[in-house]
């Protein structure tokens, strides 16, 4: 549907409050195009966009409109609906939380909120603990400071399904951003029976649940090992600091140095332009601390504390592990630790994504663990936990991870959880240190046994309105002109996930799921020798990603293949 940009702009100019009037009055013609030619798309990831005026920006009006749409959906589908809300450290986060409270209370929907910042896994936990119909997390994860977002969760604490997202999106589309949003001022909303503060007991229960994810056999011995680990931690100006430090302290980690410049929440992210723990730049200040303190390990959590990054001291080097490598190590460690304490692993399930390393299949085969590979996005891992829960088999879930530094080893939440993952990573490093090894040594041991599986990613950005069209053109061209070879290697098979692909299940039995994955804009190419590339647009940013996977019997061979794959990725997306 085409939008009359000038009419939409005038509608906002006539109705927006003083906080946006200066921006609107000074908006250039190009600015009008960017801000009013489209609306933010509400999908399974909710909303995410630049903090700015207009239908295509994150502001108090688009947040109010989305919340009215959510309220309409909840009142049609739940008796006495309720919502838990959290926000990370981003700019405008508190303003957006207040808008949500004002709209939900005006609609007679019970709303639980906190005046403090909270992590994304903490929000997921609150939804479950308070038995809410939905959750809202005001966050843009690890995006730069110009972004904010609005993620919606279902009653299981997992991000909403496509069906629910479509129904909410339909309600939003019916709602005029100014005229149809029910609203109380915040002071009046707080006085209603519908607005309730989340008590400290919920956070305490979340900390307890994170600690219960530990897989150590002997707690006293593990605490003695923990005390010998020299650890640096950074919250990257986000929400992780109090919870991570408490979980570590409870489990015997007494030698922990915090990066003080990044410990306090700050939506401007003054020490890092891109607070993504997957990047060297985000870890640079933490690395300075690590070198100064001669730390064994650096752990970084992103602003909403769902992702976690890791750097390891290996001899005289300081090596950043990527998300796949940490996932490989954690899965191997959990299997090893649980087998050691006598747990039967052959009935357990681990979930990962189609863009995560294939080496975990080899580890799973060794221990007899069932593997389920789902689409990118932790909500699909959470969905598999729900399926197990519905069959009274929640206990079977042992671990889930995605290559973008997201991990979960419990069922207390249904999203990535850097709090419990930080504990597991630290305990893993402490145990191996007691054996005279670091995490790089352990990774090398795994590669020597199973093969050198390497992975990397190349992203190409397509900014602005024209960029969206270019992205569609690139993906359409790949479908209409399928590639026959890549870097001199023949394409032996390919999958277009838009057609609906059956979920890959390994080491299963007759009771394992036989289901198709939701259709998704993803192209997968398997090359000679088991090499692989996957092409998919980002779900949160204007970019297309190429995931490259290589494997060989030596590290040098595998690395050379990976380098070739990455070098050719830009040409593939041109």
In the structure encoding, which two tokens stand for residue 74, read together?
């909840």
Give the orientation angle of helix 5-15 with respect to helix 29-36, to 10 degrees.
90
Place of tokens 């973008």: 404
Encode 429-482 in three state secondary structure: HHHHHHCCCCHHHHHHHHHHHHCEEEEEEEEEECCHHHHHHHHHHHHHHHHHCC
Q: What is the pTM of this model?
A: 0.95
| Dihedral (CA of 160, 165, 171, 177) sign | positive
Segment holding 401, helix H or strand E: strand 397-402
Q: Would you call 141 a catalytic residue per the annotation?
A: yes
Range name among 95-109, 174-188, 244-258, 533-547 with the lowest pLDDT average? 533-547
Position 517 scores a pLDDT of 94
Instruction: Please tell me the distance from the alpha carbon of residue 562 to that of residue 565, in angstroms, as a whole number.
Output: 5
Among residues 380, 402, 385, 390, the alpha carbon closest in space to that of 348 is found at: 385
Range name among 293-297, 359-363, 535-539 with the lowest pLDDT average? 535-539
Contact in structure between 474 and 570 (CB atoms under 8 Å): no
Instruction: Please tell me the distance from the alpha carbon of residue 83 to that of residue 157, in angstroms, as a whole number.
Output: 11
Instruction: Please tell me the distance from the alpha carbon of residue 256 to that of residue 82, in angstroms, as a whole number.
Output: 39
Percent of the chain whose predicted confidence (pLDDT) is above 90: 93
Position 106 scores a pLDDT of 98
Q: Which of 114, 141, 550, 558 is catalytic?
A: 141
pLDDT, one tens digit per residue, over 404-422 is 999 999 999 999 999 999 9
Q: Give all strands (DSSP E) within 315-396, no chain letters.
A: 317-321, 349-353, 370-374
Q: What is the mean pLDDT of residues 442-457?
A: 95
Instruction: Please tell me the distance from the alpha carbon of residue 158 to that of residue 127, in angstroms, as a whole number.
Output: 9
Position 260 scores a pLDDT of 98
Q: What is the mean pLDDT of residues 465-489?
A: 90
Question: What's the pLDDT band for 484 if we cut at 50, 70, 90?
Answer: very high
Position 212 scores a pLDDT of 98
Instruction: Please tell me the distance from the alpha carbon of residue 305 to that of residue 312, in angstroms, as a whole number.
Output: 20
Range name among 29-43, 73-87, 115-129, 181-195 with the lowest pLDDT average? 29-43
User: With 80 as the cut, is the pLDDT of residue 464 above it?
Assistant: no
In the structure encoding, which two tokens stand for residue 17, read together?
């409050």
Range name among 85-94, 486-495, 530-539 with the lowest pLDDT average? 530-539
Question: What's the pLDDT band for 467 if we cut at 50, 70, 90?
Answer: confident
Percent of the chain whose predicted confidence (pLDDT) is above 70: 99
In the structure encoding, which two tokens stand for residue 11, read together?
């509608």
Three-class SS state of 108 = coil
User: With 60 as the cut, is the pLDDT of residue 239 above it?
Assistant: yes
Position 511 scores a pLDDT of 84
pLDDT, one tens digit per residue, over 58-106 is 999 999 999 999 999 999 999 999 999 999 999 999 999 999 999 999 9
User: With 80 as the cut, is the pLDDT of residue 2 above it?
Assistant: no
Instruction: Please tell me the distance from the alpha carbon of residue 305 to that of residue 421, in angstroms, as a whole number.
Output: 10
């Amino acid at each position: 549907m085409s939008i009359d940009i000038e009419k939409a702009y005038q509608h906002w100019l006539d109705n927006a409050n003083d906080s946006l009037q200066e921006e609107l009055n000074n908006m250039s013609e190009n600015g009008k195009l960017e801000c009013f030619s489209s609306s933010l798309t509400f999908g399974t990831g909710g909303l995410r966009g630049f903090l700015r005026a207009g239908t295509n920006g994150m502001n108090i009006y688009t947040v109010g409109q989305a919340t009215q749409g959510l309220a309409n959906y909840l009142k049609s589908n739940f008796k006495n609906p309720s919502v838990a809300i959290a926000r990370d450290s981003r700019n405008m986060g508190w303003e957006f939380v207040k808008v949500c409270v004002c709209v939900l209370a005006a609609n007679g929907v019970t709303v639980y909120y906190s005046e403090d910042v909270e992590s994304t896994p903490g929000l997921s936990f609150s939804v479950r603990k308070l038995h809410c119909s939905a959750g809202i997390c005001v966050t843009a994860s690890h995006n730069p400071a110009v972004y904010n977002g609005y993620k919606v969760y279902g009653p299981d604490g997992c991000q909403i399904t496509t069906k629910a997202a479509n129904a909410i999106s339909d309600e939003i589309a019916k709602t005029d951003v100014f005229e149809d949003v029910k609203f109380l001022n915040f002071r009046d909303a707080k006085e209603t029976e519908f607005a309730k503060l989340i008590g400290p007991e919920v956070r305490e229960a979340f900390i307890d649940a994170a600690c219960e994810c530990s897989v150590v056999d002997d707690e006293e011995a593990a605490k003695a090992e923990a005390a010998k680990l020299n650890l640096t931690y950074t919250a990257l100006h986000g929400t992780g600091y109090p919870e991570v430090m408490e979980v570590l302290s409870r489990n015997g980690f007494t030698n922990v140095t915090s990066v003080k410049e990044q410990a306090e929440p700050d939506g401007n992210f003054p020490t890092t332009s891109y607070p993504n723990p997957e990047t060297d730049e985000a870890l640079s200040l933490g690395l300075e601390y690590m070198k100064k303190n001669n730390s064994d390990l650096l752990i970084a959590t992103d602003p909403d504390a769902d992702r976690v990054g890791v750097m390891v001291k290996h001899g005289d080097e300081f090596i950043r592990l990527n998300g796949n490598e940490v996932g490989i190590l954690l899965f191997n460690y959990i299997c090893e630790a649980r087998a050691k304490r006598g747990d039967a692993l052959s009935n357990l399930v681990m979930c990962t994504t189609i863009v995560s390393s294939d080496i975990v299949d080899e580890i799973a085969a060794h221990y007899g663990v069932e593997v389920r590979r789902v689409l990118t996005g932790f909500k699909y891992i959470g969905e598999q936990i729900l399926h197990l829960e519905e069959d009274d088999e929640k206990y079977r879930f042992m671990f889930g991870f995605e290559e973008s530094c997201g991990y979960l080893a419990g069922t207390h939440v249904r999203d990535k959880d850097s709090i419990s993952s930080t504990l597991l990573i630290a305990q893993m490093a402490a145990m191996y240190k007691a054996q005279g090894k670091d995490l790089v040594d352990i990774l090398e041991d795994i590669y020597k046994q199973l093969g050198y599986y390497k992975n990397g990613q190349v992203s190409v950005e397509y900014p602005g309105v024209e960029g969206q069209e270019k992205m569609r053109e690139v993906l359409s061209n790949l479908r209409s002109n399928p590639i026959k070879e890549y870097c001199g290697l023949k394409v032996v098979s390919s999958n277009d996930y838009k057609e609906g692909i059956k979920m890959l299940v390994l080491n299963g039995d007759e009771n394992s799921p036989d289901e198709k994955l939701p259709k998704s804009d993803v192209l997968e190419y398997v090359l000679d020798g088991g090499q692989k590339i996957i092409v998919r647009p980002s779900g949160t940013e204007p970019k297309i990603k190429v995931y490259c996977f290589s494997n060989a019997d030596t590290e040098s061979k595998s690395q050379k293949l990976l380098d070739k794959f990455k070098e050719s990725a830009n040409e593939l997306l041109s």
